[in-house]
A and B are shown apart, each in its own frame.
Chain A
Amino acid sequence: MKLVAVAACTSGIAHTYIAKEKILGAARSLGWDASVETQGTIGTETPLSPEDIAAADVVLLAVDIKVGGRERFEGKRVVEVGTSTVIASPTKLLTAIEQKLSE
């Protein structure tokens, strides 16, 4: 599985980056390939490349606020949750996404 994700929280200084680590950690434990872009108060960091997005099986938006660049994911399967979901249950979320994808 290949996953691309965007993380963004309200204050844009803490939850955004915790969410990124949680997604990467869960992806690693499941053997997925994952890239995560953060849209914090400092701006966009580690942006997703068009190649990554094109190759991704699914897009995960772990966001509490409006994020920029959603049009990049047009035509892709997009799952949107809050950062709290990703922080509380990253592996379960990814497993659930995989299940839904195979349905």
Chain B
Amino acid sequence: MTSSTAIPRPKLELKKHALTAISYMLPLVVAAGLLIAIGNLTGGTVIEDYSQEYTWQSALLSLGVLGMGLLPPVISAAIAYSISDRPGIAPGLLIGMIAGSIGAGFLGGMLGGFLVGWVVLALRRHLRVPVWAEGLMPMMIIPLLSTLIVGLLMFFVIGIPIVWATEALTGFLTGMQGEARLVFGAILGAMAAFDFGGPVNKTASLFADGLLLEGVQEPEAVKVLASMVPPFGVGISFLLSRLLRRPIYTRQEQDNIKIALPMGVCMITEGVIPIAAADIIRVVVACTSGAAVGGALSMWWGIGSPVPSGGLFIVPAMTNPLLFLAALAIGSTVTGLILFAWKKKVSEEVDPAAVVAEPEEEKDIDLSEIRFS
């Protein structure tokens, strides 16, 4: 890469870097979470001393725990990579290790990643070395200097308030009782369902994933539940409209629902987007209401999920699978009932071909945002 392309646009792009980290983190967290679940279910214990004999159950559980421990380094390295490309990876991993060790966890990993990324960029842009030393820049100078600078900061300055904030947050959430749990579950559930996998959902998701790394499993169950309520709720309203002969979906929408349901089983909410796009307010209100009810119940019952993603397939790994299914069913039914009662009737005489051929309504976009680079 030439030096001209190495200088990024002036935009901060915080969200893009954070999403890149989430994207690299997800497969790791799913694999580690499932390993922990399998190990726990089969009676494994975390191995303390590897010189003693251990069972395969304990091996799986311990591997999962090791995987979870890798998360702060991977988050930090992915953010640093997103900001400053390849030179960010090595220092990013190291700073993430510090975050994990001092108890700054997920938050520390994220902040550390940003700092590493920016420091590496600054070094690449401003540090000039003689020609004979250019080979040393990527191999020695950048990794050493950036790790040294951000590492010392992490240990002695910024790590301290993060550890404090992390402990306060997890303490608050685990200490929550009664109505506070209901309200928290409802808000988190509503957020996770609000935009069908969009930025609001990702914010809720990030929050739940972060807490999982701190050992708080309940928000993750709410997130999993709220991601499945929209497709199942729409499915229930479709079923009701069939049973009670009150058509509320066009032929095209019915086809979309048949695709959205299996996607919902895998916890992919996006299948509902075409149905929501056609009737945005009713569908969003119905889905967020259902997810809020389900989320509140899930928190109330104290259901935890050690795995952040995987839909119905990971329900057996939850702390109380049956109650989770009950909360999911109740939330989805609320969504289904609201949709069925509120959606306008469509006439069956509409020529299905005409419906298919009709172009989807496109949103207006801000053209001024489009720039060539």
A residues bordering B, Cβ < 8 Å?
9-15, 18, 29, 41, 58, 64-66, 70-71, 74, 77-81, 84-85, 87-93, 96-97, 99-100
- A87 to B197: give the CA distance in the assembly, Å: 13
Q: Is the CB of B373 within 8 A of A96?
A: no
Interface centre among A64, A70, A71, A81 (most CB of B within 10 A): A64
Question: Inside 8 A of A85's CB, which chain B residues have their CB?
Answer: 365
Q: Is the CB of A10 within 8 A of B362?
A: no
Residue among B1, B23, B273 making CB contact with A65, cutoff 8 Å: B23
Q: Is the CB of B362 within 8 A of A66?
A: no
Q: Is the CB of A14 within 8 A of B197?
A: yes
B26 interface residue per 8 A CB criterion: yes
Question: Inside 8 A of A88's CB, which chain B residues have their CB?
Answer: 277, 362-363, 365
Interface residues of B in 332-373 (CB under 8 A from A): 359, 362-365, 367, 369-373
Question: Inside 8 A of A97's CB, which chain B residues have their CB?
Answer: 370
* Between-chain CB contacts (< 8 Å), 21 pairs: A11-B22, A11-B309, A13-B268, A14-B197, A14-B268, A18-B270, A41-B26, A58-B372, A66-B17, A70-B5, A74-B5, A78-B372, A79-B372, A81-B369, A85-B365, A87-B273, A89-B363, A91-B362, A93-B370, A96-B365, A100-B372
- A89 to B277: give the CA distance in the assembly, Å: 12
Give the Cβ gap from A38 to chain B, nearest Cβ, in Å: 13
B160 interface residue per 8 A CB criterion: no
B residues bordering A, Cβ < 8 Å?
1-2, 5, 16-17, 19-20, 22-23, 26-27, 81-82, 197-198, 202, 263, 268, 270, 273, 277, 309, 359, 362-365, 367, 369-373
| Given A89-B364, A90-B362, A92-B364; A66-B16 close (CB under 8 Å) | yes
Residue among A66, A70, A80, A93 making CB contact with B20, cutoff 8 Å: A66
Question: Inside 8 A of A66's CB, which chain B residues have their CB?
Answer: 16-17, 20, 81-82
Residue among A65, A81, A90, A93 making CB contact with B82, cutoff 8 Å: A65
Give the Cβ gap from A26 to chain B, nearest Cβ, in Å: 9
Question: Inside 8 A of A84's CB, which chain B residues have their CB?
Answer: 198
Q: Is the CB of A96 within 8 A of B19?
A: no
Q: Is the CB of B273 within 8 A of A64?
A: no
Give the Cβ gap from B235 to chain A, nearest Cβ, in Å: 18
Give the Cβ gap from A57 to chain B, nearest Cβ, in Å: 11
Q: Is the CB of B365 within 8 A of A89?
A: yes
Q: Is the CB of A65 within 8 A of B16?
A: yes
- A84 to B202: give the CA distance in the assembly, Å: 13
- A77 to B1: give the CA distance in the assembly, Å: 18
Q: Is the CB of A89 within 8 A of B23?
A: no
Residue among B16, B26, B362, B365 making CB contact with A11, cutoff 8 Å: B26
Q: Is the CB of A41 within 8 A of B27?
A: yes
Which residue of the partner chain B has the closest CB to A93? Answer: B365
Which residue of the partner chain B has the closest CB to A86? Answer: B365
Residue among A77, A92, A99 making CB contact with B365, cutoff 8 Å: A92
- A96 to B273: give the CA distance in the assembly, Å: 24
Which residue of the partner chain A has the closest CB to B268? Answer: A14
Q: Is the CB of A96 within 8 A of B367?
A: yes
Question: Inside 8 A of B198's CB, which chain A residues have their CB?
Answer: 84
Question: Inside 8 A of A9's CB, which chain B residues have their CB?
Answer: 23
- A84 to B19: give the CA distance in the assembly, Å: 14
Question: Inside 8 A of A81's CB, which chain B residues have their CB?
Answer: 369-370
Question: Inside 8 A of B369's CB, which chain A residues have their CB?
Answer: 81
Which residue of the partner chain A has the closest CB to B13? Answer: A66
Residue among A12, A89, A99 making CB contact with B362, cutoff 8 Å: A89
Q: Is the CB of A15 within 8 A of B372?
A: no
Which residue of the partner chain B has the closest CB to A76? Answer: B372
Which residue of the partner chain A has the closest CB to B2? Answer: A74
Give the Cβ gap from A88 to chain B, nearest Cβ, in Å: 4
- A85 to B198: give the CA distance in the assembly, Å: 11
Question: Inside 8 A of A10's CB, which chain B residues have their CB?
Answer: 19, 22-23, 202
Q: Is the CB of B23 within 8 A of A77?
A: no
Q: Is the CB of A71 within 8 A of B273?
A: no
- A91 to B364: give the CA distance in the assembly, Å: 10
Other contacts beyond A85-B365, A100-B370: 7, CB < 8 A: A11-B22, A11-B197, A14-B197, A66-B17, A74-B5, A92-B365, A96-B370
Question: Inside 8 A of B82's CB, which chain A residues have their CB?
Answer: 65-66
Q: Is the CB of A71 within 8 A of B263?
A: no
Question: Inside 8 A of B362's CB, which chain A residues have their CB?
Answer: 88-92
- A81 to B2: give the CA distance in the assembly, Å: 24
